[in-house]
Chains A and B, each alone.
Chain A
Amino acid sequence: DSGVTQTPKHLITATGQRVTLRCSPRSGDLSVYWYQQSLDQGLQFLIQYYNGEERAKGNILERFSAQQFPDLHSELNLSSLELGDSALYFCASSHGQGIQLGGKAFFGQGTRLTVV
């Protein structure tokens, strides 16, 4: 168990809908990272937050947004969902601001999103 908790584990929704994925980082970790894993694209970095502030953006669509709350949990919001958004969404956390400064990133079990 990595200590990173993601909910829900599975989510099935229709095209055009909006969903929220939730992540609780490991105790003491200040950074949260979101990744998308699909069969054709592999693991793609979406966005990172550190202590409530956005720190880095990757291949995140404008329909997607995220935030990190004062208690350090994070939510990833996906709207106007399309079939191609079906994927595994992972959250990872680390203690510091960056992968190297903050040490290893530990991943949650992921949320499997299926858009039908």
Chain B
Amino acid sequence: GESVGLHLPTLSVQEGDNSIINCAYSNSASDYFIWYKQESGKGPQFIIDIRSNMDKRQGQRVTVLLNKTVKHLSLQIAATQPGDSAVYFCAENSGGSNYKLTFGKGTLLTVNP
């Protein structure tokens, strides 16, 4: 069956360092991926997306890498700030008439000042 993501791990970094959050997916039919950030008490917030015809996409301070060979996705956050502290989810969609986003369990990022 479909499954995305890992058991909820925790990543702790120092302010100013780069962060890398990883995600594994198992549905090889998935061709669209999104990273969401969820702060305590708030809904998931879109960060960046990537389609399967790309292997890298950059946003503001964030980069998503997609390795379809090993079904792995990563989110890199440059110069991590305390405001980046949150749970980060990867989500997948297999396109076409599939309207469902399948979410991983998330990674808790803690940024130490």
Mark A residues whose CB is within 8 Å of B.
Answer: 2, 4, 31, 33, 35, 42-45, 48, 50, 55-56, 58, 90, 92, 97-100, 104-110
Selected contact of B43 from candidates A2, A50, A56, CB within 8 Å:
A2
A92 to B100, CA, bound (A): 12
* Binary CB contact string for chain B from 95 to 109 against chain A (1 if under 8 A, 0 otherwise): 111111111111000
Contact A100 B95 (CB under 8 A): yes
Q: How far is the CA of A111 from the CA of B98 in the complex (A)?
A: 25
What are the residues of chain B within 8 A of A48 when measuring CB–CB? 99-100
Chain B residues engaging chain A, CB cutoff 8 angstroms: 5, 31-32, 34, 36, 41-46, 49, 51, 89, 91, 93, 95-106
B5 / chain A contacts, CB cutoff of 8 Å? 42
Q: Which residue of B lies closest to A109 (CB)?
A: B43
Interface of A is mostly: strand
Closest CB in chain A relative to B98 CB, distance in Å: 7
Q: Among the interface residues B44, B95, B99, B103, which one has the most CB atoms of the partner chain A within 10 A?
A: B99
- Specify which chain A residues have a CB less than 8 angstroms from the CB of B91 in the assembled complex: 43
Chain A to chain B contacts (Cβ below 8 Å), 11 pairs:
A31-B99, A42-B105, A42-B106, A45-B102, A98-B98, A100-B31, A100-B32, A100-B95, A104-B34, A104-B49, A107-B45
